[in-house]
Structure 1
Amino acid sequence: MPDGSTAVADGGPPMAVLAFDHRERAFASVRSTGMTREEIGRSKELIFEAFEAAVESGLAGTRPGILIDEEFGAPIARRAVALGVPVSMPVERAFEPVFTFEYGGDFRRHLLEFRPAYAKALVHHRTTDAPEAKQTQLARLRELSEFLAEQSIGFMLELIVGQSDGGTGEIPTVDVEELRGSMTEMQNAGVRVDLWKVEGISSHDEAAQVAAQAVAANPQATCVVLGAGAPNDVVGHWLDVAAATPGFGGFAIGRSIWGGPVASWLDGRLAREQAIEQIASTYRSCALRYMGARVG
């Protein structure tokens, strides 16, 4: 396992991952008028500068890292690796109903070129999905997990199953029963995951159930919570729950941190330095909140 996962598994500092691996459609969605490819590239450079500013200011004892794509962020990934920043990179083709490798059979070469701490696969999966689609998806994920294990690259699986109808008060929560069932199907299919990136959970008891499922096939596995572009109060609650749950080792949040400032900067409502400051401040606030709610 890479250093980042080992640190968490051994009781080390939680991970504070700033995620901006979103490809064209998802990244541009934070701005009502969309973005050009050039604007996306410039925005990712701005986000990384905000990351560096936040790290320099201090992130409350968390372990900072980034999640960045090759298409728009290859120079950023190389720079981060040179600086000793744990880098995670996606392997999925965006917006495919069944997990598909971004670079097809060439995915191995791309991963070995960068050797990220983690390779991330975003997967939509429910136990009620069509059996043929699930079989195809699980076979591809098993192929990926076996290659990553051979290369000592961690496997981050972002598993999206959707939210349940109810939560604690007005706080949305993932469908925990479906999440655990989907995790079980993947584990039974031989997909070995080091880091489960999961949707927010509003209940401590349910978060503990998810954490227990994560280690069913890999005792060193841990979970991190994602942001889903949710408002600050919702993300804050999810951070509180994750931080207080053994088996969770941090967060990997993106648009909830940088979406607003990036759009405002591109629209001319924020100066570049102001946008950097806002992103760095929100990222740091997430780290502070996580550490403030942490138990043990």
Structure 2
Amino acid sequence: MATADDQPMAVLAFDHRERAFSSVRAAGMTHAEIRRSKELIFDAFVAAIEGGLGGARPGVLIDEEFGASIARRVAALGLPVSMPVERASESVFTFEYGSDYRQHLLEFRPACAKALVHYRTTDAPETKRTQLGRLRELADFLAERSIAFMLELIVGQSDSADGEIPSVDVDELCGSMAEIQDAGVQVDMWKVEGISSREAAARVAGQAVVADPRATCVVLGAGAPNDVVGHWLDVAAATPGFSGFAIGRSIWGAPVAAWLDGRLAREEAVDQIASTYTSCTLRYMGARVG
């Protein structure tokens, strides 16, 4: 995976499982529709690469349940694949395949394994011990197998006035990162909620390297509107220590829903997703430090 000094990572994230993926459409989705939609997103990913991404390094974040074949195809293209290990929609981090998560990862050998965890310094001590123990187990296993560890740490946004660009609660984020680091959890890449200022982003990037000087941050999209995501990309790109983005629903949500509802032809949906993914990537590259 990329470091802050390498080509920035432009990760198209569609590892969402049933509830999160279907949330982009009022009518929801069947399993077959989810699989078809992920194939459509993959086609858009390939189209964007063929059109050029300004020197960024493309990659995908894709799940095994609905995207196993996509993961293999992306790997066959020589591009990095990241895969989730968490069970979806759990308040406490739990392995998707229980103790068998190791075998599932080794079957695919992704460049990176991603764990999403909701964690705050104010959580109950027993909950924190449980989550930290599981994260440390995962991190140790990944380090032994030379698989990078991406930790998607969700702490929530701070209060913002009307008209302000929303931002993650930076004090809480840095405090939670510190507790995770103090517990011996080695993280290669911190996937963090959007940050509204460079000063705040610099604090987060500085916290990321406390335990490992090679660690970096990537910004997520949280399904936010284009103008908000664009601002978050500008801030991340202009902050040393950020190495790209991993964005999903903000890029593909509306076109997927419109295609399933018959409001867009498949080719139009592919073009829209590819165009938005490309725009995010080029915006990041244009705002990048140096």
**TM-score band, normalised by the shorter chain?**
over 0.9
1:244 and 2:238 correspond: yes
Task: Name the CA distance, whole Å, in 2 between partners of 1:127 and 1:232.
Answer: 30
Task: Name the CA distance, whole Å, in 2 between partners of 1:273 and 1:105.
Answer: 41
The equivalent residue for 1:63 is 57
Deviation at 1:169, TM superposition (A): 4.8
User: Given the alignment, which residue of 171, 175, 180 partners 1:181?
Assistant: 175
Identity %: 78
1:203 and 2:197 correspond: yes
User: Given the alignment, which residue of 267, 280, 283 partners 1:273?
Assistant: 267
Distance 1:260 1:190, change over 3 A: same
Deviation at 1:295, TM superposition (A): 1.4
Task: Name the CA distance, whole Å, in 2 between partners of 1:37 and 1:167.
Answer: 40
Task: Name the CA distance, whole Å, in 2 between partners of 1:105 and 1:60.
Answer: 41
The equivalent residue for 1:135 is 129
**1:54-110 Cα distance to aligned partner (Å, 9 max, x none):** 000001110100000000000000111111110000000011111000000000000
TM-score when normalising by structure 1: 0.97
Deviation at 1:167, TM superposition (A): 6.7
* SS class of match (1:140): helix
**1:5-35 Cα distance to aligned partner (Å, 9 max, x none):** 3xx24x1110000000000000000000000
User: Given the alignment, which residue of 16, 27, 34 partners 1:33?
Assistant: 27
1:282 and 2:276 correspond: yes
Residue type of the alignment partner of 1:160 = I
**1:104-156 Cα distance to aligned partner (Å, 9 max, x none):** 00000000000001000000000000000000000000000000000000000
**1:180-223 Cα distance to aligned partner (Å, 9 max, x none):** 00000000000000000000000110000000000000110000
User: Given the alignment, which residue of 146, 165, 175 partners 1:171?
Assistant: 165
1:193 and 2:171 correspond: no
* SS class of match (1:155): strand
* SS class of match (1:146): helix
The equivalent residue for 2:102 is 108
Residue type of the alignment partner of 2:68 = A
User: Given the alignment, which residue of 110, 114, 119 partners 1:120?
Assistant: 114
The equivalent residue for 1:264 is 258
Deviation at 1:279, TM superposition (A): 0.1
Distance 1:167 1:161, change over 3 A: farther
The equivalent residue for 2:86 is 92
Task: Name the CA distance, whole Å, in 1 between partners of 2:245 and 2:35.
Answer: 24
Task: Name the CA distance, whole Å, in 1 between partners of 2:223 and 2:75.
Answer: 26
The equivalent residue for 1:74 is 68
The equivalent residue for 2:17 is 23
Task: Name the CA distance, whole Å, in 2 between partners of 1:237 and 1:72.
Answer: 31
Distance 1:150 1:259, change over 3 A: same
Residue type of the alignment partner of 1:122 = L
Task: Name the CA distance, whole Å, in 1 between partners of 2:232 and 2:53.
Answer: 18
Moved more, 61-70 or 77-86: 77-86
* SS class of match (2:187): coil
Deviation at 1:43, TM superposition (A): 0.2
Task: Name the CA distance, whole Å, in 1 between partners of 2:222 and 2:95.
Answer: 22
Q: Any stretches of 5+ residues in structure 2 without a counterpart?
A: none
* SS class of match (1:249): strand
Task: Name the CA distance, whole Å, in 1 between partners of 2:6 and 2:127.
Answer: 38
Task: Name the CA distance, whole Å, in 2 between partners of 1:182 and 1:135.
Answer: 13
Deviation at 1:170, TM superposition (A): 1.8
Residue type of the alignment partner of 2:108 = F
Q: Any stretches of 5+ residues in structure 1 without a counterpart?
A: none
Task: Name the CA distance, whole Å, in 1 between partners of 2:230 and 2:162.
Answer: 14
Task: Name the CA distance, whole Å, in 1 between partners of 2:247 and 2:61.
Answer: 9
The equivalent residue for 1:161 is 155
The equivalent residue for 2:38 is 44
Contact between 1:168 and 1:202, CA under 8 Å: does it hold in 2?
Answer: no
